[in-house]
Structures are given as C-alpha cells and as structure tokens.
Chains A and B, each alone.
Chain A
Amino acid sequence: NAGVMQNPRHLVRRRGQEARLRCSPMKGHSHVYWYRQLPEEGLKFMVYLQKENIIDESGMPKERFSAEFPKEGPSILRIQQVVRGDSAAYFCASSPPGRMNTGELFFGEGSRLTVL
C-alpha cells in the first residue's frame, strides 16, 4: 500500500512563473491537506480538501494560490506568479476516514520549491 505520493520532489522556478505541485493520498483516504514549511520552522496549514470540495482554505493566501482535488487524479496546489518568498517545502497529508479530528495525518515526502 503506497503512502502519500508527492511530485515533483524538487522544483525550481523563476520569479513570475507558475508552480504546480501534485499529491496522491493513500489508498482509501479521501481527505487531503496541504502544509507549508520554511527551513527550521513548523508546518503551517494551508488548505483542506475532500474530493471535489474545498473544506477549509483559511491558511492559504488569497492571491496567486489555489488548490483542487478532482474526482479523478491527484490533488494540485498551484502557485501563480511565484515570488522568492514562496520558496519552501510544501507537504501534503491525508487521513483515514473517521480519524480527521485526532490529528493523525500521513504525510508525503514534500515538494521543495525554489524560486530564483
């Protein structure tokens, strides 16, 4: 049973370009979360999605950032017109049904975005 799969693992973009990060949750998990981590810091919640629905996007910047989790395919975190401050590790996590409130999340290995 594969874990949470994220790709790409590393992504380099120039300022103004777009970044697309993909996440496939664990088999049987229908809840996906995206977190952002700066070096030597904790994880900051960005968005929580179920299939075809955004449940909570309170941690996501209002501009340039969007997320989706279509009926088929992986969840996508999209950052438009990237700036240097977007450089970070972006982690995706999923949770088993019925366990969302416990905080038990299964994380992917992360996508590390570098903006030049």
Chain B
Amino acid sequence: GESVGLHLPTLSVQEGDNSIINCAYSNSASDYFIWYKQESGKGPQFIIDIRSNMDKRQGQRVTVLLNKTVKHLSLQIAATQPGDSAVYFCAESLGSSASKIIFGSGTRLSIRP
C-alpha cells in the first residue's frame, strides 16, 4: 500500500547550521505534502505544506522541496535553533479529507550547542 518513509530516524545538527530532513513517498496521486513538528509531550504542529504542482515553497526559516521524479520531499531549516529540537513528520494528502493523510514514522532532530 501507500507509505511515506524517511531516510533517517535521527538527525543531529550543530546550532546555527542548516538542517535537512528527507522523506520518500510512494503515492503519485497525492495532492499535498505536509510537514509537521512534534515537540516532546505535545501534539503535532503544522509547519508548511506544498501542493503537488509546485517544487519549492518557502516559509519563515523553512523551505520545502518536492521532487516528483524521484518521489522525494525535504524540509530545510535555516540557522537551526535549540527550539527546533523535535520529531518531524512528513505526510501526504490524497485530498478530499484528512482521512487520506498518511503520516511517516518521523525524524528526531537534535541540536548540538
């Protein structure tokens, strides 16, 4: 079946450096791709999404890149800060409702001082 997977379960980054979190997906029919951030003990928080007809979208300190040719999604965080420590989930939406949103297992981002 469809799945959203991640290349690395953990990522350690020096404070101030850029972070790149990668994600592979398998469903070419997905309409939207989404990144969520989940801090310890809290609920997931929407970061940014990108529609399937785009290949790049920028937010505040974050950029999402979509490569449909190789079914790859990445989240880039500029100038990583201690507050960026969390688990990051990529997800894909097949449209119509959130019941079609498939979440990956997550990447834990830790920041070295």
Contact = CB atoms under 8 A, between A and B. Distances in A.
B27 to A, nearest CB: 13
A57 to B, nearest CB: 9
Contacts of A101: 31-32, 93, 95-97
B98 interface: yes
A109 B33 CA distance: 23
A1 interface: no
Interface of A: 4, 31, 33, 35, 40-45, 48, 55-56, 58-59, 91, 93, 95, 100-110
A58 B41 CA distance: 27
B32 A58 contact: no
A95 B98 contact: yes
Q: Which of B31, B46, B106 has the most CB of A within 10 A?
A: B46
Contacts of A93: 43, 98
Nearest to B105: A42
Given A42-B89, A103-B98, A91 B32 contact: no
A65 B96 CA distance: 24
Given A48-B97, A100-B98, A43 B44 contact: yes
A91 B43 CA distance: 7
Given A42-B89, A42-B105, A103-B34, A108 B43 contact: yes
B43 A104 contact: no
A45 B41 CA distance: 19
Given A48-B98, A110-B43, A43 B49 contact: no
A22 to B, nearest CB: 15
A103 B99 contact: no
Given A41-B105, A103-B49, A33 B99 contact: yes
Contact of B43 (A48, A103, A109): A109
